[in-house]
């Protein structure tokens, strides 16, 4: 593979007064500044809910007009809550095709345009129809998964609380994160029950925000070493095992094979923790721990050489503008690899990082491995 | 460029009882049959309105699950009424990147799930917000363009009637077209006024349907010779000239340059005629006629060597499931180039064809040149 990320830009996550297009433009502008406003020849926009929540179609034209890149080509990409990762994937393919030299990938979501119940309903439209008809929502199915995981491996609720606390503690150092205050285990434990065993502070927040990256041909300190994505049966009822996401396992296998790297090479990982227990499942699915061993990372000590997890605060701390999160994970890894993560910077600076994104209820997952500065 | 189309499949356009996903699966199944059900490694889905009209997000997972391609990767692409062309563009980039060998591109739309006024409102969300706020709809702005074009070049309403008649006459030979009956100039002239000068039979119909193609590396009788796309100012009020679409002109320039071909090389063209006068504008924007000369093609005779237009019936005859139309144009060109267009087949069989698609009110247009069997 021969593509690398040469710039990143953010529009802070949280409740924002700006429109979807303005948020996209804000993030894009920061990334374009970093490449000296050099012309781009392809604009890829990642977004999930524009049609259902923002009464906005033709989004790539809107963004292109707003940021004045009329000379470029464009694509809008959607893959539910992995839309940002999917857009990055499309941008990398475009560079690798040899047809485009400098691609701007922008991922944005504006969820507070509509009342939360409407947004939750739209999110549930990414589930299998048979489960939608049965009244399933994203947190309800996530609770089912979490319950089964806890039961199978004897995981105490305190472990999930610890995951949330770690996320919020890290987010304090990330100026683009929605949550800027840490929480105590007691606060997590006392937050209201959403769907047992998931309490409010185990769940990601409705959020607005945007992220942008520039992808160019060639190699650098943030080269795309491997990219993998995969599907799984959408209906949770059709899955053999609720305690693991097959789409993550397959995506990881593909990404590591393409990168020609092993799990021990990864020093930093940004994982999709839309619900606290998912972080544990992610760690196991990605091969960093054996099934059932990830809870130990939060109750005992982590194995020698294990990657730093979600230094950005993850989705629980950063906030979850759904279509933007997948690209935020990638941009956060890039900032770490290039030593520009500010107060979140991991020391020593990692040389290989992994970003992981979940689409829908883990029906379409993405793994991206970045690096290239290995000694 | 090194990609060619090895298969096509359709789900007939019109009012269909099947769901969006079933229509996509029907078209995909026909295309996969044509390649002997060989495994595909990337699924690209083109669609515009799933979120707003079909309460369906995460569409690529839905289609992947339905057609059992869990082993593939996937992307969903949206570019308003050019979504099908944009999806094809993404599929070609994927093949040219060297990362994917056999890509299935499916474009589908199911517009009759909701009452027409709701669908029209969703379509209007692809216009610039300042014009949406002023109450603009797609036919209203198309009427503005048509009025100005007629005025500038002194075009009689009968010319627009003739465009519609030609489309419907061609569609009679296309078993996948929504309209299977020809119309007389009188019928067009007597159809109700939608927005002057556009009457009902000058406008494309609300429609359901799907199209699929398989793209593979290498060359064949339907090679991708050139691909171009471009943006224009979204707000019609911001444009210098209403009688031409700058995005078509730029897209065509790029596509012809990449193909290293001239206008006279094109023997067959499938043009985006969502409104009858647009066909005339398309012919001029693509460089087949000088500005103001296209109406002469319908009142006098066509210049020697001019391409056959919309042998499929075009959007006026084929129907306009918006996200599918851009891929239908490409698939129709492929069938002509490979001699499989049945009763629509142009004789002698063309060796170079062009497909043209308009996104929104011509804010994001696509030109695809296919061929490769030149003597």
Phi, psi (degrees; rounded to nearest 5) at A233:
-50, 130
- Cβ distance of A75 and B76 shorter than 8 Å: no
B211 touches B10 (CB < 8 A): yes
Sort out which chain A residues have CB atoms less than 8 A from B49's CB and list them.
51, 57
Mutate to test the interface with A, among B1, B61, B248 (most CBs of A within 10 A): B61
A301 burial type by CB count under 10 A (0-12 exposed, 13-18 middle, 19+ buried): exposed
pTM: 0.97
Q: CA separation (Å) from B285 to A88, A112, B166, B204, B322?
A: 33, 41, 20, 20, 21
Q: Residue B70: what pLDDT?
A: 76
Sort out which chain A residues have CB atoms less than 8 A from B60's CB and list them.
78-79, 364
Residue A137 touches partner B, C-beta closer than 8 Å: no
Q: Residue B209: what pLDDT?
A: 98
Sort out which chain B residues have CB atoms less than 8 A from A230's CB and list them.
70-71, 73
Nearest CB to A126; choose among B58, B230, B232: B58
- Chain segment A312-336, per-residue pLDDT in tens: 999 999 999 999 999 999 999 999 9
Q: Residue B375: what pLDDT?
A: 41
Task: Please state, rounded to an integer, the average pLDDT across all residues of chain A.
Answer: 96
Mean pLDDT of the A73-102 span: 97
- Cβ distance of A58 and B96 shorter than 8 Å: no
- Cβ distance of A90 and B89 shorter than 8 Å: no
Q: Residue A52: what pLDDT?
A: 96
Nearest CB to A60; choose among B52, B71, B79: B79
Q: Residue A375: what pLDDT?
A: 41
Q: Residue B373: what pLDDT?
A: 65
- Chain segment B227-280, per-residue pLDDT in tens: 999 999 999 999 999 999 999 999 999 999 999 999 999 999 999 999 999 999
- A1 pLDDT exceeds 80? no
- Chain segment A253-276, per-residue pLDDT in tens: 999 999 999 999 999 999 999 999
Q: Which of B:213-252 have CB within 8 Å of A? A: 227-234
Residue B314, both tokens = 């075009």
- B99 pLDDT exceeds 80? yes
Residue B90 touches partner A, C-beta closer than 8 Å: yes
Q: Residue B69: what pLDDT?
A: 86
Sort out which chain B residues have CB atoms less than 8 A from A55's CB and list them.
52, 125
Q: Is the peptide bond before B124 cis (omega within 30 degrees of 0)?
A: no
Could you give the CA distance from residue B55 to residue A44 in angstroms, rounded to a whole number? 24
Residue of A nearest to B44 (CA): A77
B211 touches B9 (CB < 8 A): yes
B241 burial type by CB count under 10 A (0-12 exposed, 13-18 middle, 19+ buried): exposed
Residue A3, both tokens = 């593509």
- B36 pLDDT exceeds 90? yes
Which ipTM value was assigned to this complex?
0.97
B106 touches B63 (CB < 8 A): yes
Strand extents, DSSP E, chain B: 3-14, 42-46, 73-78, 102-110, 193-195, 198-199, 208-217, 223-231, 268-270, 308-309, 352-359, 364-371
- One-character DSSP codes across B160-215: HHHHHHHHHHHHTT-TT-S--S---HHHHHHSPEEETTEEGGGBPPB-EEEEEEEE
**Strand, coil or helix: what is B261?**
coil
The CATH label, of 3.40.50.920, 3.40.47.10, 3.40.80.10, 3.40.50.300, for the domain at B3-115+207-216 is 3.40.47.10
Q: Residue B205: what pLDDT?
A: 96
Give a three-class secondary structure readout of A291-311: CCCCCHHHHCCCCCCCCEECC
Q: CA separation (Å) from A6 to A35, A215, A292?
A: 7, 6, 38
Q: Residue B71: what pLDDT?
A: 83
Q: Residue B60: what pLDDT?
A: 97
- A69 pLDDT exceeds 90? no
A319 touches A177 (CB < 8 A): yes
Strand extents, DSSP E, B15-136: 42-46, 73-78, 102-110
- Cβ distance of B59 and A75 shorter than 8 Å: no
Residue B343, both tokens = 């009763």
- Chain segment B303-322, per-residue pLDDT in tens: 999 999 999 999 999 999 99
Q: Residue B254: what pLDDT?
A: 97
Task: Quote the minimal CA–CA distance from A6 to chain B in Å.
Answer: 19
Task: Quote the minimal CA–CA distance from B50 to chain A in Å.
Answer: 8
Quick one: what percent of chain A has pLDDT higher than 70? 99
Mean pLDDT of the B112-128 span: 96
- A374 pLDDT exceeds 70? no
Could you give the CA distance from residue A141 to residue B157 in angstroms, rounded to a whole number? 58
Confidence of residue B140 (pLDDT cuts 50, 70, 90): very high
- Cβ distance of A74 and B79 shorter than 8 Å: yes
Residue B126 touches partner A, C-beta closer than 8 Å: yes
Residue B86 touches partner A, C-beta closer than 8 Å: yes
Could you give the CA distance from residue B279 to residue B265 in angstroms, rounded to a whole number? 20
Sort out which chain B residues have CB atoms less than 8 A from A80's CB and list them.
57-58, 61
Residue B59 touches partner A, C-beta closer than 8 Å: yes
- Chain segment A208-234, per-residue pLDDT in tens: 999 999 999 999 889 999 999 999 999
Mean pLDDT of the A358-371 span: 98
Sort out which chain B residues have CB atoms less than 8 A from A99's CB and list them.
1, 93, 96, 227
Question: Furthest-apart CA pair in chain B: how many Å?
Answer: 57
Could you give the CA distance from residue B77 to residue B98 in angstroms, rounded to a whole number? 20
Mutate to test the interface with A, among B97, B247, B254 (most CBs of A within 10 A): B97
- One-character DSSP codes across B89-110: HHHHHHHHTTS-SEEEEEEEEE
A121 burial type by CB count under 10 A (0-12 exposed, 13-18 middle, 19+ buried): middle
Sort out which chain A residues have CB atoms less than 8 A from B74's CB and list them.
79, 229, 231, 364
Could you give the CA distance from residue A76 to residue A348 in angstroms, rounded to a whole number? 37
Residue of A nearest to B94 (CA): A93
Mean pLDDT of the A98-112 span: 97
- Chain segment A150-190, per-residue pLDDT in tens: 999 999 999 999 999 999 999 999 999 999 999 999 999 99
Residue A109, Cβ neighbours under 10 Å: how many? 34
A341 touches A335 (CB < 8 A): yes
Specify the higher pLDDT residue, A373 or B347.
Answer: B347
Residues ≥6 apart with Cβ < 8 Å to A291? A153, A243, A244, A284
């Amino acid at each position: 593979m021969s593509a690398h990320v040469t710039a990143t830009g953010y529009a802070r996550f949280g409740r924002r007064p700006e429109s979807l297009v303005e948020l996209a433009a804000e993030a894009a502008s920061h990334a374009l500044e970093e490449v000296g406003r050099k012309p781009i020849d392809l604009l890829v926009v990642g977004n999930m809910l524009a049609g259902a929540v923002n009464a906005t179609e033709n989004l790539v034209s809107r963004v292109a007009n707003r940021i004045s890149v009329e000379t470029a080509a464009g694509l809008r990409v959607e893959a539910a809550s992995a839309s940002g990762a999917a857009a990055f994937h499309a941008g990398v393919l475009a560079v690798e095709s040899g047809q485009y030299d400098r691609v701007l990938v922008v991922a944005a979501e504006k969820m507070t345009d509509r009342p939360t119940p409407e947004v939750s309903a739209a999110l549930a439209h990414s589930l299998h129809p048979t489960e939608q008809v049965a009244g399933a929502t994203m947190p309800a199915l996530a609770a089912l998964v979490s319950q089964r995981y806890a039961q199978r491996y004897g995981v105490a609720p305190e472990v999930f609380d610890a995951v949330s606390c770690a996320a919020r503690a890290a987010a304090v150092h990330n100026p683009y994160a929605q949550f800027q205050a840490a929480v105590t285990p007691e606060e997590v434990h006392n937050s209201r029950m959403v769907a047992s065993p998931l309490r409010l502070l185990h769940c990601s927040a409705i959020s607005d925000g945007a992220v942008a990256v520039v992808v160019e041909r060639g190699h650098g300190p943030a080269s795309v070493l491997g990219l993998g994505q995969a599907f799984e049966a959408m209906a949770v009822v059709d899955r053999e095992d609720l305690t693991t996401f097959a789409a993550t396992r397959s995506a990881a296998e593909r990404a590591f094979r393409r990168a020609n790297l092993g799990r021990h090479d990864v020093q930093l990982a940004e994982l999709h923790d839309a619900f606290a227990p998912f972080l544990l499942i992610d760690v196991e699915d990605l091969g960093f721990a054996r099934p059932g061993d990830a809870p130990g990372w939060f109750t005992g000590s982590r194995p020698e050489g294990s990657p730093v997890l979600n230094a950005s605060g993850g989705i629980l701390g950063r906030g979850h503008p759904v279509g933007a999160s997948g690209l935020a994970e990638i941009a956060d890894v890039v900032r770490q690899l290039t030593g520009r993560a500010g107060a979140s910077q991991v020391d020593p600076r990692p040389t290989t990082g992994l970003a992981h994104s979940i689409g829908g209820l883990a029906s379409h997952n993405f793994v991206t491995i970045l690096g290239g500065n290995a000694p």
